[in-house]
Amino acid sequence: MSILGRSARRANPPEGVPLDYIEPATLGVAVELLASDEAARPLGGGTALMLLMRYGFLRPSRLVGLRRLASDLGGISVNDRHELRLGALTTLRDLELSRQVARSAPVLVEALHIVGNVRVRNAATLGGHLAHGDPHQDLPPILLAMGARAHAVGPRGSRWIPLDQLNLGYYQTALEPAELLTELALPVQPEGTQGSYTKFTAVSAEDWPALGVAVFFRRDQDRLAGVRLALSAAMDRPQRLAGVEAMLDGERPSESLFQAAAETASSAVEPMADGGGSTAYKREMIRVHVRRALEKTMRAPALRSG
């Protein structure tokens, strides 16, 4: 499970200091409020933060509620590069129900159906999901494999962070203190892309993943092209497996190729044990589910342009 990590990013205030809750009306004020207090924290949907506070892993002195920023940080649209632009305050439920997302990122929608439960998805925001840094989440490996970028605004200005640079480790992200995620840009996937996400839960169906596998590729004649494969939940952060992608790219799909890719994947990472299984079991599950994910992607519909 995922809530036991203590974030090293910010100091805890002295015990007994009462909590201050503010909802700024502009992004600038929000950043200022965060920058002026070491132990302040932004609050998206609160589904992760409230649990961390309840368990005593975090004791912020100030919560900066973001919901009044919805006009800047919300919404789903297409930017001038034809990328899907997803506001950081968009709830997971809004993403799940969006036609636009369904059209250009059907794999994301498929995964969203099984993120936690509908009550969590109604509250949880995309920004909170990414900033949380919990390796046991479903969307990061998909977004990583799709080549997404996150936009952040902080006291020192704004920047784009490619998703493969966002997660630094267990509950650690590249976000500076007082830096806020504002949106996510999802590049157009090449015509003909097939993709899938495989979530394996070990204990109950409605659970954080014990392993997540996201796969995308195209088929160029009878060969695989543009292969992107990312794993999550077995390691301290979601990761693309470049070695596995390389051994699949340009090859003819076959049972033995997928088997070999699965073997390579399972030895490419050092899985960490958790409530979902031991290291040995997770390694075995990588072997099984990478193979199954590749097979499943072969059966997935190809994306049409538009």
3-state secondary structure of 69: helix
Least separation in angstroms between residue 227's CB and other proteins is 23
Alpha helices (runs of H) in the chain, residue ranges in sequence order: 27-35, 49-54, 70-73, 92-97, 99-104, 106-112, 118-123, 126-132, 139-145, 242-248, 255-268, 279-299
Give min distance, CB of 48 to other proteins, in A: 11
Q: What is the 3-state secondary structure (H, E, C) of 137-178?
A: CCHHHHHHHCCCEEEEEECCEEEEEEHHHCEEECCEECCCCC
Which of the ranges 136-144, 183-191, 242-250, 269-277 carries the binding residues for ligand FAD, by CB under 6 A? 136-144
Please choose which of ligand FAD, other proteins, none residue 47 contacts, taking the beta carbon within 5 to 8 angstroms, the exact cut-off set by kind. ligand FAD
List CB contacts of 207: < 8 A, sequence separation 6 or more: 201, 276
Ranges within 196-225 binding ligand FAD (CB under 6 A):
208
Interface ranges with other proteins (CB under 8 A):
1, 3, 15-16, 51, 200, 202-207, 275, 277-281, 284-285, 288
Which position among 120, 188, 269, 288 is part of the footprint of ligand FAD (CB under 6 A)?
A: 120
Binders of ligand FAD among 11-70, rule CB under 6 A?
A: 41-49, 51, 66
Give the SS3 label for residue 241. coil
Burial class (CB within 10 angstroms; exposed 0-12, middle 13-18, buried 19+) of 200:
buried
184 binds ligand FAD (CB under 6 A): no
Q: Inter-axis angle of helices 279-299 and 255-268, to 10 degrees? A: 140
Q: Which is nearer to ligand FAD, 74 or 195 (CB)?
A: 74
Q: Which member of 137, 189, 194, 266 binds ligand FAD (CB under 6 A)?
A: 137
| Residues 73 to 92 in contact with ligand FAD, rule: CB under 6 A | 88
Q: Which residues pair with 160 in a beta bridge?
A: 151
Give me the amino acid identity at 78: V
Non-local CB neighbours of 48 within 8 Å, separated by 6+ positions: 3, 124, 128, 132, 134
Cβ closest to ligand FAD, residue 175 vs residue 285: 175
Smallest gap from residue 19 Cβ to other proteins (A): 9
Q: Residue 60 binds which one of ligand FAD, other proteins, none, with CB within 5 to 8 A depending on kind?
A: none
Residues 245-274 that bind ligand FAD (CB under 6 A): none
* CA-closest candidate to residue 50, choices 114, 88, 1, 3: 3
At closest approach, how far in Å is the CB of 298 from other proteins? 17
Give the interface with ligand FAD as residue ranges (CB under 6 A): 41-49, 51, 66, 88, 115-116, 120, 123-125, 127-129, 131-132, 137-139, 175, 180-181, 208
